[in-house]
């Protein structure tokens, strides 16, 4: 009986991890292909509201950064580490007025924020460094399976990347 309970718990955990890996990046949100639309049209993933919440101001550019997260997860799920790292470091969807891009690496690095992770690891930009280890297969991610690297990239960028900025 105890073995069946462990197996059930293991399968449940695996299913939850699979569902969490896809969170926020399903359906039309993953579709970032260019269309023959005018410059004023918004991509489909930038609908007028989020789950019933309507924004008081135009935050579409900031919301586009979350599409980078989906694109990173897609690249990493295909073991395309270079593409995942490129989007993470250089951005893809959240273009600023000056033509540069907001990046998840910029938020995770949070140079000068001096948050607790920097103190704990005695390293400036510790969160960004840990994410880069997952991207490059170094540090804690040296010699691990592609699945573990993917999970590191997916979870760290989604759950920790913005912590460094706060």
pLDDT digit string (tens) for the chain, length 166 residues: 556 676 666 666 655 555 555 555 655 444 445 444 445 566 666 566 666 777 777 777 777 888 999 999 999 999 999 999 999 999 999 888 899 998 999 888 766 666 778 888 888 888 889 999 999 999 999 999 999 999 999 999 988 876 765 5
Give buried/exposed letters for 5-22 (b at 16+ CB in 10 A, else e).
eeeeeeeeeeeeeeeebe
Quote the pLDDT of residue 159.
85
Distances (CA, A) of 150 to 11, 12, 65, 73: 19, 19, 19, 8
Quote the pLDDT of residue 70.
93
Quote the pLDDT of residue 32.
47
Quote the pLDDT of residue 1.
55
CA–CA gap between residue 73 and residue 19 (Å, rounded): 13
Quote the pLDDT of residue 117.
81
- How large is the angle between the packed helices 2-22 and 146-159, nearest 10 degrees? 60
> Token match 């690249």: residue?
75
Q: pTM for this structure?
A: 0.69
């Amino acid at each position: 009986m105890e073995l069946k309970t462990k197996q059930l718990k293991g399968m449940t955990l695996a299913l939850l991890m699979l569902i969490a890996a896809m969170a926020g990046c399903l359906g039309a949100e993953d579709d970032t292909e260019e269309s023959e639309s005018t410059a004023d049209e918004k991509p489909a993933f930038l609908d007028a509201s989020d789950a019933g919440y309507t924004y008081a101001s135009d935050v579409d550019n900031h919301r586009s950064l979350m599409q980078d997260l989906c694109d990173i997860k897609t690249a990493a799920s295909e073991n395309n580490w270079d593409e995942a790292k490129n989007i993470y470091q250089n951005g893809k969807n959240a273009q600023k007025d000056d033509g540069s891009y907001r990046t998840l690496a910029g938020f995770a690095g949070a140079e000068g924020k001096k948050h607790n992770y920097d103190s704990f690891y005695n390293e400036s930009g510790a969160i960004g460094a840990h994410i880069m280890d997952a991207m490059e297969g170094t540090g804690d991610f040296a010699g691990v399976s592609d699945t573990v690297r993917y999970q590191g990239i997916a979870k760290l960028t989604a759950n920790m990347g913005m912590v460094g900025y706060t």
